[in-house]
Structure 1
Amino acid sequence: MSKRFAVILAAGKGTRMKSDLYKVLHPVCGKAMVQHVVDQLQGCNIEKTIAVTGHGAELVKERLGTEVEYVLQEEQLGTGHAVMQADALLAGEKGTTVVLCGDTPLITQNTIDALLEYHETQGAKVTVLTAKADDPTGYGRVIRDENDAVKRIVEHKDANTEERYVQEINTATYCFDNEALFEALTHVNNDNVQGEYYLPDVIEILQKQGEAIAAYQTADFNETMGVNDRVALSRAEKEMQQRINEQHMRNGVSFIDSDSTYIESDVKIGKDTVVYPGVVLQGETSIGNYCVIGPHTEMKNSTINDETTVKQSVVHNSQVGKRVSIGPFSHIRPQSDISDDVRIGNFVEVKKTKMGNKSKASHLSYLGDAEIGAEVNVGCGSITVNYDGKNKHLTKIEDGAFIGCNSNLIAPVNVGAGAYVAAGSTITEDVPGEALAIARERQTNKEKYASKINKK
């Protein structure tokens, strides 16, 4: 196999997006469009990937990091001019260069691979990835000769009336013989309506030199969709979401209503897990086998282990063990670590807290900055009072402790193993193991007090 290179065109500002965010950094299912393209190249045996940047170059570098090399197109003078910027890194190299746009997030590794293999087996100097469009408005048209060979590609603005009826469109993805590409680029001019240097002109130049030109038509037009405005961004989001959900279903995940769920591209879900309507799964979330993710649950960058149920709750940047029950209406905030067989019930908020095996907080509690042992019961309305106005402090509750309803644990404080805190107590000092702590005013009954009030 010859060497393979990739050039990603990512220099356009994207004025039609009407956004302060650089176009190729707009997310589709949680990931920047240009990142989708880079990710799909990973399995294509690419030796060197180059991103051509312009507006927002530093932001693109920040997003992609060292996954690619960078060249700068200071002035946007067309696609041909953009590829010319990679001359110093690629000119003279023997092999195949695939050129893609950074605003085509739906392109897949399978299609890129098929294009590369077709190009290499055809022995062509250039192979164009084409597609059939029901409405080709705005796309460059692929003009073929009487033998069905590619004759030339004409941009929509430069096409005549007859050419505009052609439905086979140029997807702006190409494979080139690398040496032929950079030699032909020296002959490209800007004699066109836009006054730009078009990359497709390379095809006509190579053809006039008697070189072989090929075209590979993909069966899925949606893969080639370029995102130039918010309408196209929404369409790409919808298409990507359908693709993601279908892949999960083929891997053994059940969706009650896949159209009403939102799952980002890096989320992992195990087999026989059931996902209910209204669920939002974001970032690097991983869900195990046999889980139930109930209606309107939101998770981000969290790990949920096997046989756990989460209903109508929020889980962010946290770890959740096996056979855990969360919700409804619970909030698991960042840096929480929930062990196996834990029960977190309705209207419980947990923040930066570790809960040991078989512990439970069934309702209406706040547990922040706490270390809670195994088999601890936290009663309704209990709070770890962790903030003094300047700093956060730690509460420790050891194995087997029982925290009665409506208790306040004023951190820093420790409750020993097997200890009891009486309901309604405000605990300001450590509680020894096996002790009973009572910190509340004694009850006083005023006999016949109600009748005195009523007389008034």
Structure 2
Amino acid sequence: MATALIVLAAGQGTRMNSDLPKVLHPLGAAPLVAHALRTGAMLDPEAVVVVTGHGAEAVERAVRDWAPEARCALQAEQKGTGHAVAQALPLLEGFEGRVIVLYGDTPFIRPETLEDMLAAPADVVVLGFEAEDPGRYGRLIEGPEGLARIVEWKDATEAERAVTLCNSGVIAAEADLLRRLVGALGCDNAAGEYYLTDIVGLARAEGARAAVVRCPEAETLGINTRAELARAEALFQARARAAALEDGVTLTAPETVFFALDTVIGRDAVIGPNVVFGPGVTIESGAEIAAFCHLTGCHVSRGATVGPFARLRPGAELAEDVHVGNFVEIKNALLDEGVKVGHLTYLGDAQVGARTNIGAGTVTCNYDGVMKHRTEIGADAFIGSDTMLVAPVRVGDGALTASGSVITEEVPAGAVALARARQVVKAGLAPKLFAMLRAEKARRQAARDRGDA
């Protein structure tokens, strides 16, 4: 059966005490809403609609980054979850199949759980959990024929509040039924809002069947405060580390490695202590990332070694057996097979040919204050230490630049480029120069002591 996804992401999240919309707060180096989108995408949905509200433009930009196929519906006034779903349904006009409603601030729902909901033999399926401390959660009231109704805490009786089966908010229903039920929602309740949960009672009233699919409470964790976000980050990282170890990745100090939502690491890769992965990182099998490295938006191929203390920024592409050493930064640069960049170097907007050696202190001077320019270095070249490559510039195959050179013009293949001033030596001048400088220093100090400087 075809599936569509509605993600509710309109709330401001006042308890976060932030100008940033709640669903844009980062978890695993990705906005909260990305977690719901990623989980939903594993169902291969025919359509995805995200309901935005507070900070709608910023939320839409994040949605485009993580789910370009998704469309957004604006909930200009927040009048409850039922009202939010009503804003999304016009974008699903003509869709026939099951609709799942997820929440942008609930990041840990598993795709397997959603599959269980889709497979449940009922017209409306609600995801529930047994709460250790039910608190103010809505209660799921079951009867002989399945789920009878959902009662919000503020509207519940004392007997209903004693129930520990709680509502996660996640609902699945057939599209036409959902349209009909949402259209029939009222707001006669303590909050004056349109509750999506009321569709259960409406469905039962017209003879439809409702059911509960249960999941662990931890899976339904919602984020409402900074403290909850911090706890969620710890939980996310613990799960990501465990998954990496299970997949055959060596983590020498697992508790110090931080993953992003989309980090991909192949088996037999080795990750040292205090490594941080930002979004968009792929590490192939057998690569090694040494201690204290920070990687974002990059690809590291089999057999490559990085670090310690290296930074790979977006667009860094390391081919097989590349070595990037300590205090090296790579940005938007392709390093072909066997390139060595040992230490203290910046390569930005560059391409480096196979087996080339980049000496310590090399810098590609890629920015002129307005535009970025590209540096091309051929295969089997040798770039001497402290070479400044002023882009746009090209160094040919097998060429060599002398240490301390400032390269501003093309270096042909096989050539040697020396671009530095000739050294001048003045014998015996150093003591005289130091004496002159010390005398000047003493004169200035005396002036300060007199107060006339």
TM-score with structure 1 length normalisation?
A: 0.84
Partner residue, 2:377 = 372
Q: State the alpha-carbon separation in 2 of the partners of residues 167 and 130 from structure 1.
A: 10
Deviation at 1:201, TM superposition (A): 1.5
Q: State the alpha-carbon separation in 1 of the partners of residues 86 and 412 from structure 2.
A: 71
Deviation at 1:357, TM superposition (A): 1.9
Q: State the alpha-carbon separation in 2 of the partners of residues 115 and 63 from structure 1.
A: 27
Q: State the alpha-carbon separation in 1 of the partners of residues 187 and 397 from structure 2.
A: 76
Distance 1:5 1:442, change over 3 A: closer
Deviation at 1:440, TM superposition (A): 0.8
Partner residue, 1:299 = 295
Distance 1:75 1:359, change over 3 A: same
Find out whether 1:440 has 2:437 as its counterpart: no
Find out whether 1:113 has 2:115 as its counterpart: yes
TM-score with structure 2 length normalisation?
A: 0.85
Partner residue, 2:372 = none
Find out whether 1:354 has 2:359 as its counterpart: no
Matched residue of 1:127: which SS? strand
For the Cα contact (< 8 Å) 1:382–1:403, is it kept in 2? Answer: yes
Matched letter for residue 242 of structure 1: A
Matched residue of 1:216: which SS? strand
Distance 1:353 1:125, change over 3 A: closer
Deviation at 1:453, TM superposition (A): 8.4
For the Cα contact (< 8 Å) 2:359–2:386, is it kept in 1? Answer: no
Matched letter for residue 254 of structure 2: S
For the Cα contact (< 8 Å) 2:387–2:407, is it kept in 1? Answer: no
- Where does 1:162-241 land on structure 2 (aligned, <5 Å)? 162-218=159-215, 220-241=216-237
Give the aligned length: 423
Partner residue, 1:58 = 57
For the Cα contact (< 8 Å) 1:398–1:416, is it kept in 2? Answer: yes
Q: State the alpha-carbon separation in 2 of the partners of residues 44 and 297 from structure 1.
A: 34
Partner residue, 1:132 = 130
For the Cα contact (< 8 Å) 1:352–1:368, is it kept in 2? Answer: no
For the Cα contact (< 8 Å) 1:92–1:179, is it kept in 2? Answer: no
For the Cα contact (< 8 Å) 1:91–1:182, is it kept in 2? Answer: no
For the Cα contact (< 8 Å) 2:35–2:261, is it kept in 1? Answer: no
For the Cα contact (< 8 Å) 1:353–1:368, is it kept in 2? Answer: no
Distance 1:290 1:164, change over 3 A: same
Q: State the alpha-carbon separation in 2 of the partners of residues 94 and 397 from structure 1.
A: 60
Deviation at 1:319, TM superposition (A): 1.5
Describe the superposition over 1:164-209 as per-residue Cα deviations: whole angstroms up to 9, x where unpaired. 3432210000112333333333443222221112111221222233
Which piece of structure 1 moves more, 175-184 or 266-275?
175-184
Q: Structure 1: which 5+ residue stretches go unaligned?
A: 387-392, 427-438
1:83 pairs with one of 82, 85, 89 = 85
Q: State the alpha-carbon separation in 2 of the partners of residues 330 and 94 from structure 1.
A: 54
Distance 1:451 1:70, change over 3 A: closer
Q: State the alpha-carbon separation in 2 of the partners of residues 328 and 270 from structure 1.
A: 23
Matched letter for residue 170 of structure 1: N
Matched residue of 2:15: which SS? helix
Distance 1:177 1:357, change over 3 A: closer
Matched residue of 2:410: which SS? strand
1:157 pairs with one of 154, 157, 161 = 154
Q: State the alpha-carbon separation in 1 of the partners of residues 107 and 352 from structure 2.
A: 41
Distance 1:157 1:452, change over 3 A: closer
Partner residue, 1:335 = 332
2:142 pairs with one of 132, 141, 144 = 144
Partner residue, 2:34 = 35
2:285 pairs with one of 270, 284, 289 = 289
Describe the superposition over 1:291-332 as per-residue Cα deviations: whole angstroms up to 9, x where unpaired. 110111011111111111111101112111221211211122
Deviation at 1:80, TM superposition (A): 1.6
Partner residue, 1:8 = 7
Deviation at 1:45, TM superposition (A): 4.5
Matched residue of 1:98: which SS? strand
Deviation at 1:210, TM superposition (A): 3.6
Partner residue, 2:266 = 270
Describe the superposition over 1:240-288 as per-residue Cα deviations: whole angstroms up to 9, x where unpaired. 2233333333332111122211121222222211011111122222222
Describe the superposition over 1:9-39 as per-residue Cα deviations: whole angstroms up to 9, x where unpaired. 2222222222222222223222222232222
Partner residue, 2:370 = none
Q: State the alpha-carbon separation in 2 of the partners of residues 442 and 239 from structure 1.
A: 63
Q: Structure 2: which 5+ residue stretches go unaligned?
A: 367-374, 440-453
Q: State the alpha-carbon separation in 2 of the partners of residues 45 and 453 from structure 1.
A: 75
Matched letter for residue 221 of structure 1: E
- Where does 1:357-436 land on structure 2 (aligned, <5 Å)? 357-369=354-366, 370-384=375-389, 386=390, 393-405=391-403, 407-411=404-408, 413-421=409-417, 426=420
Deviation at 1:444, TM superposition (A): 4.8
Matched letter for residue 352 of structure 2: M
Q: State the alpha-carbon separation in 2 of the partners of residues 450 and 26 from structure 1.
A: 62
Find out whether 1:258 has 2:250 as its counterpart: no
Q: How much is the aligned-residue C-alpha RMSD, in angstroms?
A: 2.7
